[in-house]
């Protein structure tokens, strides 16, 4: 579904992502882990087209999308949650999702079509809001929602866009303890659709271990480990050097 070939970016003399080659299959959730500054977010930015690669290629469904900008990549099927920047703060929760449903339906700017399809669009928007547990807040302004609800709304918008690839960068960051399970449940639900490819950047190893089918580890921009979760997490070199875990804490991680 998604593949990077020798993907590289340099900022001045610093190689932030270095010749990363990796393929991500449909029906899998791959966690991308590594210490701060390892290049995880930059790798995401290269895939979604936020920044331009210095070298290498990104393929989606076998097509080379390297020359496309971020909007065209989104249209091609790459869906990324952007730390709340996808939200229209002054629109209601329902309107935010409705716009995403509409974009998906490619109703575009044809006003007649928008009007005639409006009921369908709203119905689909409401279905999505049920899924992300925001139906009772459909009339609230997005800006008035607490942080956790805004993150849920962002996932809802992404779901409404129905991308082939879902990219989550620390989706539970800044959430309260009781909000975290809601987002994790949503990602679990997404996993049930075996046609979707999910990429997750996440520091919380308990989340990674529970959700992922595969873990890749970046360090200094390089791909240094790739495999099924138990073996990657258990690997001493990954624990000590790349996840910053002391050998004494190993028992805790393995538990």
Ligand X SMILES: Nc1ncnc2c1ncn2[C@@H]1O[C@H](COP(=O)(O)OP(=O)(O)OP(=O)(O)O)[C@@H](O)[C@H]1O
| Contacts with ligand X, residue ranges (CB under 6 A) | 11, 16, 34, 36-42
> Of the two residues 13 and 71, which places its CB atom closer to ligand X in the complex?
13
SS3 state at 69: coil
Q: Indicate the residue among 5 and 83 with the shorter CB distance to ligand X.
A: 83
Residues near 65 by beta carbon (within 8 Å), at least 6 away in sequence: 49, 58, 59, 72, 73, 76, 78
Closer by beta carbon to ligand X, 40 or else 73: 40
φ/ψ bin of 125: left (φ > 0), alpha (ψ from -120 to 50), beta (otherwise): alpha
Residue closer to ligand X, measured from CB, 87 or 201 = 201
Whether the CB-CB separation of 157 and 103 falls below 8 Å is answered with no
CB of 51 to ligand X, least distance (A): 7
Nearer to ligand X, 34 or 77 (CB): 34
In this structure, are strands 2-11 and 14-24 parallel, antiparallel, or unpaired? antiparallel
Measured from the CB of residue 244, what is the shortest distance to ligand X in angstroms? 11
What are residue 6's phi and psi, to 5 degrees? 50, 35
Residue 153 tokens read as 């709304």
**By the 8 A CB rule, do 203 and 212 touch?**
no
Report in angstroms how near the CB of residue 170 gets to ligand X at its nearest: 7
Taking the complex as a whole, the smallest distance from the CB of residue 12 to ligand X amounts, in Å, to 7
CB of 231 to ligand X, least distance (A): 22
Token pair of 212, please? 């992922």
């Amino acid at each position: 579904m998604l593949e990077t070939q020798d993907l590289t970016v340099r900022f001045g003399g610093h190689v932030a992502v270095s010749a990363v080659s990796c393929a991500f299959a449909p029906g899998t959730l791959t966690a991308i882990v590594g210490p701060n500054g390892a290049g995880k977010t930059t790798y995401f930015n290269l895939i979604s087209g936020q920044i331009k690669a210095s070298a290498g290629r990104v393929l989606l469904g076998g097509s080379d999308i390297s020359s496309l900008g971020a909007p065209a990549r989104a249209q091609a099927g790459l869906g990324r949650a952007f730390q709340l920047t996808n939200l229209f703060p002054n629109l209601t929760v329902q309107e935010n999702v409705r716009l995403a449903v509409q974009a998906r339906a490619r109703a575009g700017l044809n006003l007649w079509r928008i009007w005639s399809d409006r009921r369908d669009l709203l119905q689909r928007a409401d279905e999505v809001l049920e899924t992300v547990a925001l139906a009772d807040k459909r009339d609230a302004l997005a800006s008035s929602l607490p942080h956790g609800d805004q993150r849920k709304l962002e996932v809802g918008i992404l779901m409404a866009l129905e991308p082939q690839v879902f990219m989550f960068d620390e989706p539970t960051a800044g959430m309260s303890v009781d909000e975290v399970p809601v987002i994790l449940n949503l990602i679990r639900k997404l996993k049930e659709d075996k046609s979707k490819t999910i990429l997750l950047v996440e520091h919380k190893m308990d989340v990674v271990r529970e959700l992922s089918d595969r873990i890749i580890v970046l360090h200094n921009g390089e791909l240094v480990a790739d495999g099924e979760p138990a073996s990657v997490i258990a690997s001493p070199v990954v624990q000590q050097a790349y996840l910053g875990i002391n050998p004494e804490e190993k028992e805790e991680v393995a538990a």
